[in-house]
Amino acid sequence: MHGWLHTARFLTTAPQLEHLPALDVPEIAFVGRSNAGKSTSINTLTQQKRLAFASKTPGRTQSINLFALGKQGQTDAVLADLPGYGYAAVPREAKLRWQRVMGNYLMTRENLRGVVLLCDPRLGLTELDEILLDVIRPRVQDGLKFLILLTKADKLTRAEANKALSIAKLQSGGGEARLFSALKKQGLDDVAQLLWHWTHGEHAAAPVAAPTPAEDEPPALD
Ligand SMILES: Nc1nc2c(ncn2[C@@H]2O[C@H](COP(=O)(O)OP(=O)(O)OP(=O)(O)O)[C@@H](O)[C@H]2O)c(=O)[nH]1
Ligand SMILES: [Mg+2]
């Protein structure tokens, strides 16, 4: 199962929507506020340290970055790392530009199969998360897959985590919610399985896991 995600490789980066190549394989977008852990979760899921740029500095990811999955030459799905939003220091112009790009991407990207909304459960869903939810809700009703991923779960007690999870389940409105920690590798199997089924169909048999080398060094986390 994870072997499939470990095939991830950089495909392209697009500063603007019109630079995104039209693709005919299913795409899964990682969205959420700046610093929520989008890039880190992509690196953890794909077991690659610096595939997506993660950083303590909010606003690290400025373009839409695409990563291809599947055996070399046989791309069968794509992950999209999107710029985060809600970072206060971003100038108003850049914020408006972001909202336009994101809105258009979520409304018009034809091969978009699923959206993973990353949320730091210590902050909960912010106003911009709610706006995003409003944008994609009609598409979720039309079959778009949707997951609220509660990141940095290592920072919560078990009681806090359970509470955050039940709130997120309600907020997901027909989608899924999961706890995740890059630090503890919590939720990894579950999310990997979900993404596989989203892109290959509910009843597709999972690939037989290939033995993978262990991480020699844990990712840098705050
Ligand atoms: N403790 C802990 N820290 C995490 C975890 N995931 C991410 N972080 C930290 O959170 C910070 C932000 O992570 P990023 O992955 O760069 O966040 P992002 O959502 O891609 O941010 P932008 O690119 O600005 O939108 C980094 O310092 C990470 O090390 C986690 O599971 N546990
Ligand atoms: Mg990022």
Pocket test for ligand 1, best of 31, 43, 53, 55 (most atoms within 8 A of CB): 55
Rounded to the nearest 10°, the torsion over CA 32, 148, 143, 196 is 100
Nearest CA to ligand 1 atom 5: 152
Length of the chain: 222
Q: Is 65 in the pocket of ligand 1 (CB under 6 A)?
A: no
Q: Is 46 in the pocket of ligand 1 (CB under 6 A)?
A: no
Q: Concatenated DSSP letters for 98-109?
A: HHHHHHHHHHH-
Pocket test for ligand 1, best of 31, 35, 118 (most atoms within 8 A of CB): 35
Q: In the chain, what are the domains?
A: 2-200 (3.40.50.300)
Query: pLDDT at position 209, please?
Result: 56
Q: Is 181 in the pocket of ligand 1 (CB under 6 A)?
A: yes
Give the CA radius of gyration of the chain.
Answer: 16
Which atom of ligand 1 is nearest to 57's Cα?
A: 24
Mean pLDDT of the chain: 87
pLDDT tier at 135 (50, 70, 90 boundaries)?
Answer: confident
* 10 φ, ψ (degrees, to nearest 5): -60, 135
Nearest to 86 by CA among 149, 151, 31: 31
Q: Is 102 in the pocket of ligand 1 (CB under 6 A)?
A: no
Please tell me which residue, 23 or 222, carries the higher pLDDT value.
Answer: 23
User: Mind listing the pLDDT tens digit for each residue in 157-190?
Assistant: 999 999 999 999 999 988 999 999 999 999 999 9
Is the pLDDT score of 120 beyond 80? yes
Q: Is the dihedral of CA 82, 88, 93, 96 positive or negative?
A: positive
Ligand nearest to the CA of 87: 1
Query: pLDDT at position 193, please?
Result: 95
Is the pLDDT score of 40 beyond 90? yes
Which atom of ligand 1 is nearest to 53's Cα?
A: 16
pLDDT tier at 58 (50, 70, 90 boundaries)?
Answer: low
Cα 195 to Cα 181: distance, rounded to the nearest angstrom? 17
Lowest-pLDDT range, 95-99, 149-153, 199-203? 95-99
Query: pLDDT at position 1, please?
Result: 61
Helices (H) and strands (E) in the chain, counts: 6, 7
Q: Is 94 in the pocket of ligand 1 (CB under 6 A)?
A: no
Strands, sheet with 112-119, edge to edge from the N-terminal-most edge strand:
9-14, 64-69, 77-81, 27-32, 112-119, 145-150, 176-179
Is the pLDDT score of 112 beyond 90? yes
Nearest CA to ligand 1 atom 2: 152
Ligand nearest to the CA of 65: 2
Is the pLDDT score of 201 beyond 60? yes
Amino acid letter at 125?
L
**Cα separations in angstroms, 112 against 44, 62, 117, 176:** 22, 20, 14, 17
Q: Is there a contact between 194 and 28 (Cβ–Cβ < 8 Å)?
A: no
Centre of ligand 2 to C-alpha 39, Å, is 4
pTM (predicted TM-score): 0.89
Is the pLDDT score of 103 beyond 80? yes
Cα 87 to Cα 89: distance, rounded to the nearest angstrom? 6
Lowest-pLDDT range, 49-53, 94-98, 99-103, 206-210? 206-210
